[in-house]
Every structure is written in structure tokens, then in C-alpha cells.
Amino acid sequence: MLVDAWCRPVPAYYFLPESRDLMSLRSNLKLLAFSAILIAVFAAPVSAETPLHERIDSALSSDDPQFEKQAAAPADDATFLRRITLDLTGSIPAAEKVRAFVADSSTDKRVQEIDRLLASPEYARRMQYVFDTMLMERHPDKHVPAKDWRNYLRHSFRDNRHWDDLVQEMLTVDGTDEKTRPAAKFLLDRELKAEQVTRDLGRLFLGRDLQCAQCHDHPNVNDYLQRHYHGLNAFLSRSYLFRDPKTKKTSIGEKAEGQVAFTSVFTKEEVKTAPRVLDLPEIHDPEIPEEPYKIKPAKNVRSIPVYSRRLQLADAITSTENQAFQNNIVNRLWAQMMGRGLVEPLDMWHSDNPPTHPEILKLLTAGLQEQDYDLRYLIRELALTQTYQRSSHRKEGPKSTDEPDYRVGLLKALSPEQLAWSMMQATGVRERTLAGLISKKMKDDPKNGSKITAEPLWQEEAVHDALWRNVDSFTVTFGSVGAQSSRFDASANQALFLLNGPLIQSWLVPGGNNLTARLKKLESDTEVAKELYLAVFSRFPEESETNQVVEFLKASQLETHQGIPELVWAALASDEFRFNH
């Protein structure tokens, strides 16, 4: 049964088997269990004049004479287009885009497509989802509405604001200015609770989960010391949440005094610490002036000191001396694009868990620093690598090993947002919604409607505003609150959502020019197979798959148009659709 298959745990990292018989077109669809993991390879230095993406590929292969022989071939054009469109826009490509891209004979069409997607409004929306999930981990709203925070992220990525600049703003704003208030969500919605904020600063910006170093040095990780935890905590120990009695809004206030001291439960020795990031030098308070406050503490008054420890945090975190900050973001972006981090788990960097490919890490961090923390640049370079563009089908070599060697493309389970937008793209919901919005705008504004609706930014925002509730339904069903995992762990609720959910069932009802309506109009079952595979799987079907569709429609003993919704549903619920491969 589908429910049973959907609920089986799937390993975190996968490769595709040679067989592409990925659909069972009856109700007993099964999710394919994938496994793969590869052997680490260390790299040799390459000339810095070579583009970063070429140096990455060279570093992966240079120390292993068998690498090129065993590495998978480049993914075909249709697979590449689906992969890059999902990674950079959060949705599968339209069927007509697949046709055009496959037919294009330009030798640089992949580079052009990467650049086109990076410049699209959909890229900014995709990064909004990625960094919202990364930084807020799907926790419910408290003080800053998610809509405002996500708008802030999207506009920041649309403007290509650099990562250190974004982190600076998130850690310095106090929430009093409406223009910058959304950036304060990271601190405000954690309510400045010492344990949560300190742990999340370490995990999400430094790649180190220091939770178990609060009361003593970490018992299992020698690198995580109690002073690391309390050094971070010292930046915020004087800060507090202030609720304005007039506006009822919460912001951050700060006292001018207060020291941090800690005692190990083992040694009982008390140690004082000034603010510090890991093993970087302590940041000592300057000599306090006679009046230490700009605004003195008082009832219903938000105090502001002359010297703020909190405002030192952003500079300390983003300092060029802080290698952990650089390592963390390149590792997370590598994981986002390649399917697994150079260090896993992403928030467990330490000497006993080193990067699988240290030379790659050095190349990435050096490149990011040279480009002043330009994440779009780094994502582009990763997308241009042969490593990223490899097929998920092995050519030869070991079928399963303990560590990734990137000889083959790894599978990535679609996020809830990717799954929602991809299903709406495949079924024609997005296209039909956009057509309706354009028609309404033209009617409401006949003078300017044509010009306005031709703008990609207007189209993206209009469609998102019309369909975001659908995305939320997927997020509730397929998402999880807290630290995000790359594992694919399905549940009965997810299977039932796909099997009987009214939302998806409504998308399968033929209407307008949606997918089921288009398939219904086709004259032959062979054409049905071709259109189905282009719309759902972003590729042309193989002969055996075409035959499978034809046989299903005949064996269903139903009129073709009655069997088509079941056929579309089977494709949408299949393992091939559920993963980026």
C-alpha cells in the first residue's frame, strides 16, 4: 500500500539505480529506497587564476587516478534543468521550458540558464524559504510576523546583500525602527532567552552546538568548552526584552552593568569571562564614563547604555578572524546544492569530525572572502561545477561506501515548499492562476495592465500572494519544527495528504487548461505519456515508460479521461517526483 511505502524511512543520502521504472501506475505505488555514500578524496592545489568551479572539480579528482573513470557522466539536459530550477527557484520547470532547453544546441546554454535563474524573482523567493527555514526553523511567530521577516529576506536576496551585511543587521537592530524591525526577528522571537539564543548563535552562525557546554566542558567533544558557551552568552547577558506600554510592541533594551561568571559542575571553580567568540580574544568593556547611560532605566522606559555589549556581537561573529563563521555558511550552501555538507551534521564542527574534503573547504572560504561574502557568486560557482552537474546514475565503482566522494550526484528530498510549488507547476495550477490574475489586472487597469503584467516580478509576487495558503498546507504536513534534517522521514499523515487530501484532489479535476484537461484532449495514449512526463518529471518518457502508460490506460477498463486523474496522481506521488536528482 502507498501509505506503508511512504512511511518507510529513507537514508539521508542516495543515488539513483540504473532502472528508471519509477512509477507503479496503480494504487500500490512504492517509494524507492535509495542508498549511496561514497569515499572521501583529498585535493591538490590548483592555480588561483582558474575559476573557482574548475578548482573545485580539480581538487576532488586530482589525488585519485580512478576518479574520472568511476565518476558518473554529466546529467542529461532535462535532468540538469530540473535540478537547477528546483535548487535556484524552488519549483520544477514548465514543460515548454524543458522542450526548448533540450532542443537548444547552444554550447553555453547551461551557463546562460544558471545566470537567468539567479537573476529571476523566483531565486529571491527560494532564498527566502531556505534562510527562513535555516534561521527560524519553522518556529511559530512571537513578536515579528513571519510575513514581514520573509519580505525582508526576499528583498535582501533580490538586492544581493552580502551575508556578513545581513548577519550584522540581524544581530544589531533592536526592533524599535519599523523599517528594520523585521531583521530583529532572530533575537526577538527567541525572546533573548540565554540558553536558546546562545545555542542558536553557535549552531546557525558558527556550526557548533554548544548546548552541552553550558554547565561544563562538553563530555564528548573536546573542542567545545564551557567558556565558549558563556563567552557568547556574555554579549547578550545585559540585554532584555522591553514591552512599550503605548505601542504594545517588544524591543530590546540593555543595562550598562553585569558580568558573566560560570562554574563547572565538575570542578566547582568559578570563572569570569568577557564577551568572546570561541577562542578569539575577549572583548573587554572600555572605561565606563561617569554617566553610563544614554537613556537611564526607569519604569516603562527602555534603557540604552553608552557602551553596548550586544552591539559588539555582530562585529565579533562576522570578523575575518572568525574562521568558524566562514566555514559554517559555505558548508551550508554546499549542502544545499550538493545534498550533503562537507561536515555533517552541519552544526557539529570539531576536530574529531573534520570536513571530508578540507581542500574544498579552503577553496570555498577563500572564494567567499574574496567576493566579500557574496552568496549569489558562491551558488553560481557551485552550480557550474562538474560535481554539481553529474548524473545520479553510477557509471562504475563501489555501490555503497561510508563517505561521499561526489563521483555521483546525490539525491535531495524536496522541501515542503519545493513540493508544493512543483505540484502546482505540474498540474497547471500556477499557470491557470497567473492567467486569471493577468485577466483581472487588464480589466481593472486597461491603460497600464499590459505593461504591468508583463513584468516577471509582478507575476511572481501576484502568483505567490494568490497561492501561499496552499504552500502553508504543505509546510504543516511535510515540515517539522526545530533543527532541520536532510533525512527523508515520511509519515502516515503525509501519505494520507497525498492519497486523499482535498487540495491535491481538486488539482486533478479537469478544468481550463490544467494538466488533466490537456491530457484529456490528446488523441493518443502515446501523446498522453509524453505530455505527462514533460509536465511532471521534466523529461521525455522512455519507450518502456510510454508502454507502461498505454497499458495502464487500457487495463484500467475506464474511459481514458476518467483514468487520467489517477495517472497524474500516481506520477505526483512517485519517488521520482519527490526528490531532486
Distance (Å, whole) CA 486 – CA 348: 14
Domain termination site, one of 318, 352, 383: 318
Domain that holds residue 12: 1-34+411-581
- In this structure, the answer to whether residues 416 and 535 fall within a common structural domain is yes
- In this structure, the answer to whether residues 282 and 431 fall within a common structural domain is no
- In this structure, the answer to whether residues 196 and 314 fall within a common structural domain is yes
Domain termination site, one of 292, 318, 344: 318
The predicted-structure confidence for 12-68, as pLDDT tens digits, reads as follows 333 444 444 434 433 333 333 333 323 233 333 444 589 999 999 999 988 788 888
Q: Are 171 and 206 in contact (CB under 8 A)?
A: no
Distance (Å, whole) CA 331 – CA 259: 34
At what angle are helices 525-537 and 95-103 packed, to 10 degrees? 90
Distance (Å, whole) CA 84 – CA 296: 54
Does residue 390 fall inside a structural domain? no
Does residue 148 fall inside a structural domain? no
DSSP letters for 326-356: HHHHHHHHHHHHHSS-SSSSTTB-BTTB--S
- In this structure, the answer to whether residues 419 and 313 fall within a common structural domain is no
Distance (Å, whole) CA 200 – CA 176: 23
Q: Are 392 and 75 in contact (CB under 8 A)?
A: yes
- In this structure, the answer to whether residues 288 and 423 fall within a common structural domain is no
Domain termination site, one of 268, 287, 318: 318
* Residue 7 pLDDT class (50, 70, 90 cuts): very low
pLDDT at 491: 86
- In this structure, the answer to whether residues 431 and 289 fall within a common structural domain is no
The predicted-structure confidence for 62-115, as pLDDT tens digits, reads as follows 878 888 888 999 999 999 999 999 999 999 999 999 999 999 999 999 999 999
pLDDT at 4: 38
Q: What is the mean pLDDT of residues 134-162?
A: 98
The predicted-structure confidence for 445-497, as pLDDT tens digits, reads as follows 999 999 999 999 999 999 999 999 999 999 999 998 877 766 777 788 999 99
pLDDT cut 70: percent of the chain above it: 89
pLDDT at 560: 53
Q: Which three cell numbers stand for residue 203?
A: 549552531
Instruction: Find all residues with CB under 8 Å of 395, minimum gap 6, and list them.
Output: 70, 71, 72, 73, 408
Distance (Å, whole) CA 297 – CA 308: 14
Does residue 166 fall inside a structural domain? no
Does residue 1 fall inside a structural domain? yes
Does residue 114 fall inside a structural domain? no
pTM: 0.90
Amino acid at the residue 512: G
The predicted-structure confidence for 174-184, as pLDDT tens digits, reads as follows 999 999 999 99
* 328 closest CA partner among 169, 486, 203: 203
Does residue 55 fall inside a structural domain? no
Distance (Å, whole) CA 581 – CA 571: 16
pLDDT at 396: 63
- In this structure, the answer to whether residues 291 and 420 fall within a common structural domain is no
Q: Are 72 and 394 in contact (CB under 8 A)?
A: yes
Does residue 87 fall inside a structural domain? no
- In this structure, the answer to whether residues 415 and 313 fall within a common structural domain is no
- In this structure, the answer to whether residues 452 and 579 fall within a common structural domain is yes
Q: Give the number of other CB atoms < 10 A from CB of residue 12.
A: 20
For residue 94, the 8-state DSSP code is P
Distance (Å, whole) CA 491 – CA 487: 13
Which range is most confident: 141-150, 288-297, 484-493?
141-150
pLDDT at 92: 99
Per the structure, the count of domains in the chain is: 2
- In this structure, the answer to whether residues 441 and 568 fall within a common structural domain is yes
Amino acid at the residue 390: R
Residue 499 has pLDDT above 50, yes or no: yes
Residue 413 has pLDDT above 90, yes or no: yes
pLDDT at 561: 57
SS3 readout for 414-471:
CCHHHHHHHHHHHHCHHHHHHHHHHHHHHHHCCCCHHHHHCCHHHHHHHHHHHHHHHH
pLDDT at 23: 41
Instruction: Find all residues with CB under 8 Å of 260, minimum gap 6, and list them.
Output: 230, 233, 234, 237, 272, 273, 274
Does residue 509 fall inside a structural domain? yes
Distance (Å, whole) CA 458 – CA 433: 13
